């Protein structure tokens, strides 16, 4: 008996990632019976593009999820915390793009190329990882399977689109102001972002790491399902519109040569190797923008330790880092016939 097509909601449909969610559902021909965009009351009644047509945005309320099979949330942590439990209580499976549920033991944290099996035990809410974590673990998982990674040192170079439209607008505005001899107006970031790098993403915690850095530490261990992997991160905002870049240093139990690593990554799902230093071929953020793959280059052995490798990892943070990964999770749920909620009241229980 053919599986019925699900009714799909996109929550936060008017934002940059929400619109990308809609575009990704359409471009990947996700087999939805209907796609319904939701947003706050101030956006209700507006139109959002969906392929060659437009959809009318509905107001997000607690009681709107009856009859909806799948909801992809891209509306911020507080919205997810409030509305996702009501969606699950209505029997609607949630794929959430915020940080609200990522470290909740009831919720799998999934990158389909890495740990799709985690979906088998979902309870109604599935977490989409942080953008910088996603692209890194896509590159690390095949290397971990081959040689057992014990330590990761990562430095990120993250685009302003990670802050949303306001980040994009701030960079563009400051560039124009500086070119016109004006003082840059600083609203979004603590300092000027144009022609600058800020080693500060999200708030600082008691250990002097930022919340963004600790997301990478904790999420990597959960996704890779190996508490033995030690991770340390420095996350930097850079004046790039789209595409996060990462310098990743790994240490493994078994030695991997650079040649072996290239061969492994060349066969890895979702990865494209661009690595020919003699021809100046390596991944660039401007080339990754608009692409679905995670690009890896500058693969070389770390000569300071016995079993170390350096990698340069680049991906579009709005696509693979958010919208694409969420839609891939939805596709995997459909493929595995997992669009059901085992305990509809789980997330509403006190």
Q: Are 275 and 262 in contact (CB under 8 A)?
A: yes
Q: Considering the candidates 107, 122, 235, 244, report the single residue annotated as catalytic.
A: 244
Q: Are 97 and 322 in contact (CB under 8 A)?
A: yes
Q: Considering the candidates 92, 107, 131, 235, report the single residue annotated as catalytic.
A: 131
Structure token pair of residue 117? 């099996």
| 122 assigned to active site | no
Backbone angles phi, psi at 134, to 5 degrees: -55, -55
N residues, the chain: 350
Place of tokens 């949330």: 73
The C-alpha atoms of residue 330 and residue 176 are separated, in whole angstroms, by: 40
Q: From residue 321, how far is each of 15, 244, 291, 307, 325 by CA, in Å?
A: 15, 9, 11, 29, 7
**81 CB burial (10 A radius; 0-12, 13-18, 19+):** middle
Give the end-to-end CA distance of the chain in Å, rounded to a whole number. 39
| 131 assigned to active site | yes
Catalytic (active-site) positions: 131, 244
């Amino acid at each position: 008996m053919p599986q019925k097509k699900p009714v799909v909601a996109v929550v936060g449909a008017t934002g940059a990632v929400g619109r990308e969610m809609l575009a990704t559902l359409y471009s990947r021909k996700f087999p939805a019976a209907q796609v319904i965009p939701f947003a706050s009351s101030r956006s209700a009644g507006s139109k959002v593009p969906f392929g060659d047509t437009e959809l009318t945005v509905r107001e997000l309320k607690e009681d709107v999820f009856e009859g909806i099979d799948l909801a992809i949330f891209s509306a911020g942590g507080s919205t997810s915390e409030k509305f996702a439990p009501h969606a699950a209580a209505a029997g609607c499976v949630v794929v959430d793009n915020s940080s609200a549920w990522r470290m909740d033991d009831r919720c799998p944290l999934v990158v389909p190329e890495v740990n799709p099996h985690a979906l088998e035990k979902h309870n109604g809410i599935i977490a989409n990882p942080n953008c910088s974590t996603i692209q890194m673990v896509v590159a690390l998982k095949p290397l971990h399977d081959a040689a057992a990674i014990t330590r990761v040192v990562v430095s990120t170079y993250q685009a302003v689109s990670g802050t949303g439209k306001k980040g994009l607008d701030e960079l563009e505005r400051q560039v124009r102001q500086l070119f016109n001899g004006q003082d840059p107006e600083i609203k979004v970031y603590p300092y000027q972002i144009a022609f600058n790098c800020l080693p500060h993403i999200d708030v600082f915690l008691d250990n002097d790491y930022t919340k963004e850095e600790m997301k990478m530490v904790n999420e990597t261990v959960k996704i890779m399902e190996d508490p033995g992997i030690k991770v340390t991160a420095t996350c930097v905002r850079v004046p790039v519109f789209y595409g996060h870049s990462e310098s990743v240093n790994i240490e493994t139990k078994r030695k991997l040569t650079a040649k072996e690593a290239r061969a492994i990554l060349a066969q890895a799902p979702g990865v494209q190797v661009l690595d020919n230093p003699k021809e100046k071929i390596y991944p660039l953020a401007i080339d990754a923008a608009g692409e679905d793959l995670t690009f890896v280059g500058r693969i070389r052995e770390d000569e300071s330790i016995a079993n170390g490798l350096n990698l340069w990892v680049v991906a579009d943070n709005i696509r693979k880092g958010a919208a694409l990964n969420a839609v891939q999770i939805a596709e995997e749920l459909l493929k595995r016939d997992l669009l059901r909620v085992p305990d509809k009241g789980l997330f509403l229980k006190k």
